[in-house]
Amino acid sequence: MRAIHQTSSEPAAKLAKGPVRIEAEPYEFMLLPEHCALVIIDMQRDFLEPGGFGEMLGNDVSQLRGAIEPNRKLLAAWRAAGLSVLHTREGHRPDLADLPPAKKVRGKSKITIGDAGPMGRILVRGEAGHDIIPELYPEPGEPVIDKPGKGAFHATDLHAILQHQNVKQLVVTGVTTEVCVNTTVREANDRGYDCLVVDDCCGSYFPEFHAMGLKMIKAQGGIFGWVSSSDHVIKALADWKKAQ
Q: Which residues are catalytic?
A: 42, 147, 180
Torsion on CA atoms 197, 36, 156, 125, rounded to nearest 10: 70
The full length of the chain comes to 244
For residue 69, give every residue at least 6 positions away whose Cβ sits within 8 Å of its Cβ, in sequence order, or none.
Answer: none
What phi and psi values does residue 43 have, to the nearest 5 degrees?
-80, 70
Looking at residue 183, its amino acid is T
Residues forming a β-bridge with 154: none
Q: Is 163 exposed, middle or buried (0-12, 13-18, 19+ CB in 10 A)?
A: exposed
Q: Which residue spans within the chain are E strands per DSSP?
A: 20-22, 29-31, 36-41, 84-90, 116-117, 120-121, 144-147, 169-175, 194-203, 226-228
Q: What sign results for the dihedral spanned by CA atoms 122, 1, 102, 185?
A: negative
Q: Is 10 exposed, middle or buried (0-12, 13-18, 19+ CB in 10 A)?
A: exposed
**Pairing mode, if any, of strands 144-147 and 120-121?**
unpaired
Phi/psi-derived region of residue 199, left when phi > 0, alpha when psi is between -120 and 50, beta in every other case: alpha
